[in-house]
Structures are given as structure tokens and as C-alpha cells.
Amino acid sequence: MRIILTADPELPVPPKFYGGIERIVDLLVKGLQKKGHEVALIAHSESISPASKFFPWRGKRSQSKFDTLQNTIALWSAVREFQPDLVHSFSRIFYMLPILRSPLPKIMSYQRKPSDRTVKLAAKLAGKSLTFTGCSNSICQIGRNAGGAWQTIYNCVEPEKYTFQPNIVSDAPLVFLSRIERIKGAHTAIEIAQKSGRRLIIAGNYSETGESGRYWREEIEPHLGKNGIDYVGTVNDEQKNNLLGQALALLVPIEWEEPFGIVFAEALACGTPIISCPRGALTEIVTEGVDGYLVKNIGEAVNRINQIQQLDRNHCRQKVIDHFSAAKIVDRYELLYKNSLRDMH
């Protein structure tokens, strides 16, 4: 098959630091080519993913109308030049507008809450040539309400890139690794760590402006360097592997409907259980009392931290191998492509 993959224009594929969608696209490029398919990539100009053919986006801002127009032209030009059997978009659906009515099979993958209006319009224009995927059942349930054919295909990691740590030291820290903003619950993680008497290492990027900047300055920064709460900045893949592997648990007490969150799969790959909340995809990622706990309040979280060493870290690693490994997810997408091609012929 000749396949075009697209990623959002803001970050290169693969990303240097944060960038979940871009990691998935990079794994797909490599995995599909390993299976003998030709893959063209449309992404940020600094992308180094080893696609057969690379087309850089002309605009780098998803929210800019001018850049959207430029990127719509870029995708249309790439389709004419590469002549794919199928187009798979992890970027804005609007970029596919010139090809929506064509019989060319198209996949639109959502890693965030889909817009009802956009899904409805695209499904109407494209008919059976377009299939939607969501990175969790919770995303697909939202999408199906607007129409179109939906299929859940989870996000993934390469388990072999993460060092499984079957044992940890008795005073192992809790780790919060995510964007540092209110919806991810860093402030709650600090309170939970303090009440459980555990060290907490915070890693991730934060904003210095607007509401997020105020959140950092007022609710996070004052705690750093005190009572075992430390901030280590953004981390690369090697640092992330070490940080997650040595953790008692990944503690990310979310306050939103999490679409998936690749960091949860990364923690499990290291053998590290999860403590989070029963919202969004977390009920699909965590098996309660097997590879983590989903808590509803701070008291519950503290109790679970005291029980966490009873969990078998082997179960955490096995969850990733069985459900969230790159090999399994690439197979799922390949099967979807074949079915889409078959349905259009």
C-alpha cells in the first residue's frame, strides 16, 4: 500500500520532548514501512521520521486561517504527487477538504474531543470513504453521537524502549509527569504526596503566561524544594525512562476527561502502577487493584499509596504488551486500511 500520514503542524515527528500524537505517527511510519508499505509523511519541516517521502507543512499554526489554507493546499499537492492508496490524518480534518468527496479511502484519527459539527459535515461529504478512529472508547462514544463510522484504536509505546523495573527502593518517590496545568492535577498531586509522607518528583512543561502561568506561580512553584517536592523540568526519553522506572507510582490526579495520555502507557511499560481518577480513558487504561488505582478524593489516594507496593509490577508491564504495544497497534491500523480499501472497491 501507498499511505500518506499527516501530523499536526506545530511539532516535528518525532517530537524532541512533549508530543504524544507525533510519537504515535513516528511509530506508524516505522512500523508500516517495516511491513513493506510505502509511507509519505506530511508534518512540521523539522521532522526526521524516516518516511519514504516527506512533505513539510507550509503553515505551522493549526488555529491560523491563513496557515490552514496553506496546509490544505500542501496536502492536496502531496496527494497528487504521491498518488496514495489511502490518506490517514492525525491533523486537522479541514486539510482534507479537497479530497473528502473523492473515493480515495481516508482515515481521520482523533486524539482529542471531536467537534460534533465538523464530524457531521465530514461524514456527510465523504460518505463511506471516511472512517474515524478515536484513541479510546470514551472519544469514540462522543464521536458516534455526531455520525460516521468509528473504531477505537488505542495509543501505544514500544515496550522494548522502556526498562522494566520489577523492584524499587522502599522510599521510592511518587512521580507526576505531564503538562503542568490545572486539568492534570499537579496541585492535587502535591497535597497527596505531603499527606502520605512521600517524596514527589514533578516533571513536564509549564506556561509562564495567562491562567496556566498564574497556576504555576501561585499553586505549584511555592511548594518546590520543600517537604520532598521537587521539579526537574522537561525530560527527554532517557530521563523519562529512569524517572518512571524508579517511581513508586505515576501520580496524575486528572480533573478532565483524559482522551488517553501516553505517559500512562509509558509508566506501565516500566512496571510502574498508576494513581489517577476515573475519568475519560483512565477506566480503559487502569485495571483497578491490578496495575493501579483510580481515586475520587485525596483521602482515598493516600490510602491507595499505602497499599501500592502490594501490586505486582509484572502485571503493569504485561498490560502494555497485551494492549498498548506499537506492534499490536500498527497491526490494527494496517487491518483498518485493508478493510477501507476493500470497502471502496
- The SS3 of residue 339 is helix
For 65, residues 6+ apart whose C-beta sits below 8 A from its C-beta are none
CATH topology match: 2-156+325-343 vs 159-323: yes
Which fold would CATH assign to domain 2-156+325-343?
Answer: Rossmann fold (3.40.50)
Q: Which H or E run contains 287?
A: none
- The SS3 of residue 82 is helix
Q: Which amino acid is at 97?
A: L
- Report residue 179 as a C-alpha cell: 503538562
Contacts 24+ apart (CB under 8 A), 68-77: 68/92, 68/94, 68/95, 71/9, 71/95, 72/97, 72/98, 74/42, 75/4, 75/6, 75/42, 75/99
Q: What is the CATH number of domain 159-323?
A: 3.40.50.2000
Domain boundaries, the chain: 2-156+325-343, 159-323
| Residue pLDDT tens, the chain, 345 long | 999 999 999 999 998 776 788 999 999 999 999 999 999 999 999 999 999 999 999 999 999 999 999 999 999 999 999 999 999 999 999 999 999 999 999 999 999 999 999 999 999 999 999 999 999 999 999 999 999 999 999 999 999 999 999 999 999 999 999 999 999 999 999 999 999 999 999 999 999 999 999 999 999 999 999 999 999 999 988 999 999 999 999 999 999 999 999 999 999 999 999 999 999 999 999 999 999 999 999 999 999 999 999 999 999 999 999 999 999 999 999 999 999 999 887
